[in-house]
Amino acid sequence: MRTPTEMIVGLVLCPCGLLLTFTGTLTPKWRQVSLIPNQPIDLILEQGIWDVCRERQSSHDRLCGQADELGYFEQVPVRVAQGMMPTSVVVTLLGLVVAALGVRCWQEEPQHLVAGVAGLVLLLSGLLSLVPASWYTHELWALPAPTGSTLVVGYSLVLSYLGSCLEIFGGLALTLSFHQCCKDHRAPKLPPSPLTEAGPQSTGGAYRNPWDVLEDERDGQHQRSTLPCDSDL
């Protein structure tokens, strides 16, 4: 049996979402601070949820582990992201394991119920990463920063957004497996036909394969050809 389309879509989107979310969680560029007063014009501060880096664009000198003098890491959106983003990664891994057991590409029949449950888990993981990314974006210009500086969204935040959306879409695709599961339960269970119970010797006039049909047609033509015609009488 071919793997259903919704399962293929889910197994493609969710690992991609996991990769993007994991990258956004680790990289320190959720927000970029530039044009800081009383500092070199090419100095940029890159702030993530775990670290703050300082980079000179002219020389590309980069130094991470900067001291948090403004209390950036004590803000609620940052603390929430520190808790929910790693949780989302772990839940996504768990959902992918369950999805692999449900899809069962090595078997003829997938387990639609297990695949649907995996879709719910992956949908939850996408929401777990979407909430902190949205909250951080909403509070981007309210978080502590040097006065008079310019604030820009960093690529880590964009990757977190994209990864969350892919996980949500992939989870929704897998939850469509519940539909097939319901169809299987609603389908009436017909009793076995007498032909299948009778065995190979009592097939009667039933054909087992196309070759039987061809042989039967040849026999019929042969019998018709042996019948006497009017001219023979």
pLDDT at 120: 95
pLDDT in tens, 211-221: 555 565 666 55
pLDDT in tens, 159-213: 999 999 999 999 999 999 887 666 655 555 545 555 444 444 444 445 555 555 5
Instruction: List domains and CATH numbers for the chain.
Output: 5-27+73-145+155-183 (1.20.140.150)
Lowest mean pLDDT segment, chosen from 71-85, 131-145, 148-162, 185-199? 185-199
pLDDT in tens, 112-130: 888 899 999 999 999 999 9
CA distance 48 to 26: 8
The whole-angstrom distance between residue 198's C-alpha and the CA centroid of its chain comes to: 47
Query: b/e map of 76-104 (b: 16 or more CB within 10 Å)?
Result: ebbeebbebbbebbebbeebbebbeebbb
pLDDT in tens, 56-67: 888 888 899 888
DSSP H helical segments within 109-209, as ranges?
112-138, 155-175, 177-186, 194-198
